[in-house]
Amino acid sequence: MRHVLLVDDEEAILYVFRKYLERAGFAVSTAANAHDAIALFGSGHVDALVTDQRMPGMTGDMLVQRLRSVRPGLPAVIVTAYAAECSPDLRNVPVLNKPVPPADLVAAVERALSLAAKDAPA
Higher pLDDT among residues 121 and 33, named by residue: 33
Distance (Å, whole) CA 75 – CA 48: 5
Across the range 26-42, mean pLDDT stands at 96
Distance (Å, whole) CA 110 – CA 57: 28
Indicate if the pLDDT at residue 51 is higher than 70: yes
Nearest to 80 by CA among 67, 66, 90: 90
Across the range 10-32, mean pLDDT stands at 97
Backbone angles phi, psi at 28, to 5 degrees: -130, 130
CA 76 from chain centre, in angstroms, equals: 5
Indicate if the pLDDT at residue 120 is higher than 70: no
**What is the helix, strand, coil percentage profile of the chain, to 5?**
45, 20, 35
In the chain, % of residues over pLDDT 70: 98
Distance (Å, whole) CA 61 – CA 59: 6
pLDDT category, 122, cuts 50, 70, 90?
low
Question: Domain with 11 in it: what CATH number?
Answer: 3.40.50.2300
Amino acid identity of 7? Answer: V
Q: How does the average pLDDT of the chain come out, rounded? A: 93
User: Which domain, by its residues, includes 40?
Assistant: 3-119
Cβ atoms of 4 and 28 closer than 8 Å: yes
Structural domain count of the chain:
1
Distance (Å, whole) CA 113 – CA 64: 15
Q: Report the SS3 class of residue 97.
A: strand
In the chain, % of residues over pLDDT 90: 82
